[in-house]
Amino acid sequence: MLLIWNRPGFTEELSEEDRTALFGEVDEIMKELAESGEWVAGQALADPSQTLTVRAVGGKPEIVDGPFMESKEQFAGYLTVDCDSPQRAAEIAARWPDVRFGGVMEVRPIMDEAGTEM
Amino acid sequence: MTGDRTVEDLLRALTPQVLGLLVRRHGQFDRCEDAVQEALLAAATQWPEQGVPDNPRGWLLTVATRRLTDEWRSDSARRTREVAVALREPAYAAMARAADSEPAVADSDDTLTLLFLCCHPALAGSAQVALTLRAVGGLSTAQIARAHLVPEATMSQRIRRAKQRIEAAGARFTMPAPGERDERLRTVLRVLYLIFNEGYTASSGPDLHRAELTGEAIRLARILHGLLPDDGEVAGLLALMLLTDAHRAARLGPDGELVPLAEQDRTRWDATAIAEGVTLITEALTWSPPGPYQLQAAIAAVHAEAPTAAETDWRQIVALYRLLARIAPNPMVTLNQSVAVAMADGPRAGLALLTQLDADERTAGHHRLAAVRGHLLEMAGEPGAARDAYLAAARGTTSLPEQRYLELKAARMTPPR
């Protein structure tokens, strides 16, 4: 799974030209992944201002507004790909345009239900 | 339902024959494969209700050929020539009539040629697997997608690209040249083994669709063995699959946890499959030079023949691994060999063999190495070090059942201090 971390709203500060180019790049990567059969799933998340966080306060779950992490970068969405190696997944992540604008991509394997005989 | 089951079995058996005949006649693997899939779909919906036609293969050929000619007609501008050919030659009528009179050997050759085509070296392993399941196995794209836990659209693209790649590589519907044949056959065996493993490693999960892949791999290996009865490695692969699959009922505990070989209830092993596998491999080894699949099957046979884990003939297994390590050296072989050596000569000897894998970049950080090391350290009476190794292995695996198993093993070691 490729986790997309970026600074919320960074696209609003781009020139229209840059913004169009960025979305174009995303479309192109998505099209390529669909054609290669590596595409599995993916979602973009709504703005962090709409986040609710649940945590225990005094031993009881409490619901508070706002994201869990108080960092500049926030979790913005994910892609799931089915590819030959972690290196290939990292290669796809490296092309994601957010990286150029200070975003970070985290590449993590997904646990599966398969087990080998031991 | 038994009726549907019979229809499905019949369709799966006829798939490579019909596709082979079509591709032999028209070329254009890509289009013929699409046409056959449509004919299969039509048959799967009509036959259970209206009954199976007298000549089911002729029926499928007729429907698939009509689809092809329809498509050629609709492509009129670019495809005028093909339409002319198709109309001049009443292909489907001729083939439907000829279906019963053709010698069986032609079908066999076609199935083998199809297998070679689907395992074309221009394709990635995942594409070879998907295409083999569809073109030779007769599975639908939806079934293959479910078995691989990817969306149908993803699998459909993977298959379409694979077919286009085969066309682009200029692959023709003929047997590979004698010089390439052995190499291609090895690829076919690897693809069948991959299909088997995808099903087998996943059969602990909740998704039964994946477990069915083992059955499909065995069915295809059986077909291949029927076509090439004189190939020892084909016999070896089929034996290996049968002997491995025989453990299926015993390898999961009541809560779905994995049960290691040594702790499995051997009365639950499939005696019929074991008998067949043991006979196959024993006979093959008498006339064929031993190859990697035969040796692995022979090892599985030694395990299968031990009435209890304690009575396993570890000396013989060590000897077989030594031979395997010589003809097909591979870090995973060394890993398994170290367990056998530990059982025969004590854990220290096994641990000594493991140290050479620390320097191999293919295995240095691999969780299987840590898991085996934990096991041998436990045998050697070093619970603290064993615990660390089990935990390292648990962090490295991407398999949930395996992770649970390894964490449990770690927890059973006396905690440090």
Nearest to A112 among B151, B247, B399 (CB): B399
pLDDT of residue B101: 46
Q: Residue B90's pLDDT is what?
A: 44
Q: Quick check: B178 pLDDT over 80?
A: yes
Taking CB atoms and an 8 Å limit, are A115 and B153 in contact across chains? no
pLDDT reading at B111 higher than 70: yes
Most A-contacting residue of B201, B247, B259 (CB-CB within 10 A), to test interface: B201
Residues B325-344, mean pLDDT to the nearest whole number: 94
Q: How confident is the model at residue B76 (pLDDT cuts 50, 70, 90)?
A: low
* pLDDT for res B193: 94
How confident is the model at residue B40, as a pLDDT? 94
Nearest Cα neighbor of B70 from B39, B29, B116, B103 is: B39
Structural domain containing residue A47: 2-107
Contacts of B210 in chain A (CB under 8 A): 114
Question: Is residue A115 a part of any domain in this protein?
Answer: no
Q: State the pLDDT at residue B1.
A: 45
CB contact under 8 A, B402 and A118: yes
Domain holding A82: CATH number? Answer: 3.30.70.1060
Task: State the Cα–Cα distance between residues A76 and A55, nearest whole angstrom.
Answer: 21
- Domain presence at residue A97: yes
| Residue A41: inside a domain | yes
Between CA B116 and CA B11, with CA B244 as vertex, the angle to 5 degrees is 45
Encode pLDDT of B199-217 as tens digits.
887 665 555 567 788 999 9
What is the pLDDT at residue B416?
Answer: 52
Higher-scoring residue by pLDDT: B80, A95: A95
Q: Is B382 exposed, middle or buried (0-12, 13-18, 19+ CB in 10 A)?
A: middle
B381: phi then psi, degrees, rounded to nearest 5 = 80, 35
ipTM, 2 dp: 0.82
Q: Do B157 and A114 touch (CB under 8 A)?
A: no
Please give the tally of structural domains in chain A: 1
Least confident of A73-87, B3-17, B229-243, B278-292: B3-17
Rounded mean pLDDT, B176-189: 92
Confidence check: pLDDT of B104 > 50: no
Q: How far is A51 from chain B (nearest CA, A)?
A: 29
Q: What is the mean pLDDT of residues B379-387?
A: 96
Does residue B94 surpass a pLDDT of 60? no
Q: What is the pLDDT of residue A116?
A: 66
On whether the CB atoms of residues B254 and B277 are closer than 8 A, the answer is no
Q: B260 CA to chain A: closest CA distance, Å?
A: 5
Q: What is the pLDDT of residue B198?
A: 84
Average pLDDT of chain A? 90
Give the residue from chain B lying closest to A38, CA to CA.
B154
**What's residue B107's pLDDT?**
63
**Does pLDDT of B98 surpass 50?**
no
Q: Which residues of B touch A (CB under 8 A)?
A: 124-127, 148-151, 153-155, 157-159, 161, 201-202, 204-207, 210, 247, 251, 258, 260-261, 371, 398-403, 405
**Where residue A118 falls among pLDDT bands split at 50, 70, 90?**
low
* A118 domain-assigned: no
Residue of chain B with shortest Cα separation from A33: B154
Q: Flag if B205 and A113 touch (Cβ within 8 Å).
A: yes
**pLDDT tens for each residue of B235-246:** 999 999 999 999
Contacts of B174 (CB under 8 A, 6+ apart): B113
Q: Which among B150, B258, B399 has the least Cβ separation from residue A40?
A: B150
> In the predicted model, is pLDDT for residue B31 greater than 50?
yes
Contact between B338 and B350 under an 8 Å Cβ cutoff? The reply is yes
As a whole number, mean pLDDT of residues B108-112 equals 82
The answer, for A34 touching chain B at a CB cutoff of 8 Å, is yes
pLDDT at B208: 53
In contact, A104 and A10? CB cutoff 8 Å? no
From A73's Cα to the closest Cα of chain B, the distance in A is: 27
Among the partner residues A35, A40, A115, nearest to B399 by beta-carbon distance: A115
Running DSSP on this structure, what letter comes out for residue B415?
A: P
Cβ–Cβ of B201/A116 closer than 8 Å? Answer: yes
Nearest chain B alpha carbon to A30: B154
Calpha distance B235→B273 (Å, rounded): 14
Residue B254: its pLDDT value, please?
A: 81
Residue B212 has a pLDDT of 82
**Could you read off the pLDDT of A12-59 as tens digits, one per residue?**
889 999 999 999 999 999 999 988 889 999 999 999 989 999 999 899
Range B356-374 average pLDDT? 90
Of A34, A41, A115, the CB nearest to B401: A115
Position B81 pLDDT exceeds 80: no
What DSSP letter does each residue of B347-367 carry, written as one string? HHHHHHHHHHHHT-TTTTT-H
Q: How far apart are CA B247 and CA B258, in angstroms?
A: 12
Rounded average pLDDT over B290-296:
96
* B386-398 mean pLDDT: 94
d(CA B315, CA B313): 6
Q: Is the pLDDT of residue B28 over 50?
A: yes
- The reply to whether A35 touches chain B by the CB within 8 Å rule is yes
Q: Which of residues 36-95 of A touch B (CB under 8 A)?
A: 36-41, 82, 84
Q: For the beta carbon of residue B215, count every other beta carbon within 10 angstroms.
A: 13
Give chain A positions within 8 Å (CB) of B154: 34, 37-40, 82
pLDDT score at B102? 47
Burial class (CB in 10 A: 0-12, 13-18, 19+), B228: middle
State the smallest CA–CA distance between residue B204 and chain A in angstroms: 6
| Cβ-proximal residues to B285 (8 Å cutoff; 6+ apart), any chain | B232, B294, B298
Handedness of CA B368, B371, B373, B379 (dihedral sign): negative
Interval B333-338 mean pLDDT: 94
Question: Do B234 and B191 meet the contact criterion of CB atoms below 8 Å apart?
Answer: no
Structure tokens at A118: 């031991």
CB pairs under 8 A between A and B: 84
Report the chain B residue with the minimal C-alpha distance to residue A117.
B260
Q: What is the DSSP letter of B256?
A: S
Q: What is the mean pLDDT of residues A56-73?
A: 89
Q: What is the pLDDT of residue A71?
A: 86
pLDDT digits (tens, 9 = 90+) for B250-269: 988 887 777 888 899 999 99
pLDDT at B91 > cutoff 60: no
pLDDT tops 50 at residue B92: no
Q: B260, A117: Cβ pair inside 8 Å? A: yes
In 3D space, the residue among B165, B254, B167 whose CA is nearest the CA of residue B204 turns out to be B254
Judge whether residue B326 has pLDDT over 90: yes
Residues in B closer than 8 angstroms to A31, CB to CB, are: none
DSSP of chain A: -EEEEE-TTGGGGS-HHHHHHHHHHHHHHHHHHHHHT-EEEEEEPPPGGG-EEEEEETTEEEEEES-S--SSSEEEEEEEE--S-HHHHHHHHHH-GGGGGT-EEEE-PPPBS-----
What's the confidence (pLDDT) of residue A36? 85
d(CA B176, CA B332): 31
Q: Please provide the average confidence, as pLDDT, over all residues in chain B.
A: 87
Q: Which residues of B touch A84 (CB under 8 A)?
A: 124-126
